[in-house]
Amino acid sequence: MQEKQTLTTHDFYYDLPEELIAQTPVEPRDSSRLLVYDRSCDKIYHRHFYDIADYLKEGDLLVVNNTRVIPARLFGHVENHESVLETLLLRRIDYTHWETIMKPARKARLGSVINYAEGLSAVVTEVGDYGSRTVEFKFEGVFEDILDRVGNMPLPPYIKEKLQDKERYQTVYSRIDGSAAAPTAGLHFTPELIDKLKAKGVEFATVLLHIGLGTFRPVKEENILDHKMHTEYYEIDEENADKINKAVKEGRRVICVGTTSVRTLETVADENGYVRPCKGETDIFIYPGYRFKCVKGLITNFHLPESTLIMLVSAFAGREKTLEIYKTAVNEKYRFFSFGDACFFL
């Protein structure tokens, strides 16, 4: 049970110069910088991601999210209007219905028809807050094939540079289509680094969480307890639940790659840290005062100020310590957000 605290959104603010927002990914993937914070001795180390094996040991279990980003950004026109309307697909409801965000939302009214390329169109069937719209798509053929041709990779709005290689916004272990954003902590891993870690005795388990509105929606409420997380779909299968439970039983470290893996495990873990094979929707909101049941370490990127993600990290490392680490990262000129550098809390 999370403790109720009087925390405001501004309590999670830090000052970030715009020039530190990473616009392009580094090559190779594991050459990004890595800030390591060791909670046991309260020390910070500055390394590169390819050095992460130095902080992992035999028997550690890394839990990764194998979701795959779909080309979820569409550009179309509201029928009888010339202005362009942007649609971001967030969550598939059924074969033809999707939860979306539209901009400018004022043009997408209930019943509006939006026409895209290749005969694809959508009717707005429900109007929500913050630009959210439920739509019913009309098309001939296979929706996924059409989307692959007319859709764009849904890069965050703070990335202005064009992405040259679409696969660079996918993790090397991505498998299951469905996300509206990448689980960016995993972007640093290469197949060679994974093989190196496995050779050292580090184990891997996979979970699934399709990233949607829960990630995109900003915190607008002054009191963070008033913020409502939207649901996102998750799955843990029997094989990977067994791997996680074996590590918990044997007292080995369960280390999540990314906040989405954290949210998945903590959604289903019992008080002793054991998980069960299951699937469903989660709206878990983790902020300071939360007692982690399963997760013992976190590999993540640096997150937006005043976001639910920095609140989750603050729950794990402490709010004041997290802001201190972020200030250090700014002073050391780390690269921030999706294509930025990584941070390892152990």
Taking Cα atoms as reference points, which of 134, 139, 135, 136 lies closest to residue 149?
Answer: 139
Q: How far apart are CA 283 and CA 233, in angstroms?
A: 9
- b/e burial code for range 291-306 (CB count within 10 A of at least 16 → b): ebbbbbbbbbbbbbbb
* Preceding amide of 191 cis, omega within 30: no
**CA-to-CA distance for 329 and 343, rounded, in angstroms?**
9
Provide the pLDDT for residue 215. 67
Mind listing the pLDDT tens digit of every residue in the chain (346 residues)? 454 458 999 999 999 999 999 999 999 999 999 999 999 999 999 999 999 999 999 999 999 999 999 999 999 999 888 789 999 999 899 999 999 999 999 999 999 999 999 999 999 999 998 789 999 999 999 999 999 999 999 998 899 998 989 999 999 999 999 999 999 999 999 999 999 999 999 999 999 999 986 666 778 899 999 998 888 999 999 999 999 999 999 999 999 999 999 999 999 999 999 999 999 999 999 999 999 999 999 999 999 999 999 999 999 999 999 999 999 999 999 999 999 999 999 9
- Check: CB of residue 243 under 8 Å from CB of residue 203: yes
Would you say the pTM of this structure is higher than 0.85? yes
Q: What is the pLDDT of residue 164?
A: 87
Integer Cα distance of 256 and 237 in angstroms = 16
State the helix-helix crossing angle for 259-268 and 308-317, rounded to 10 degrees. Answer: 70
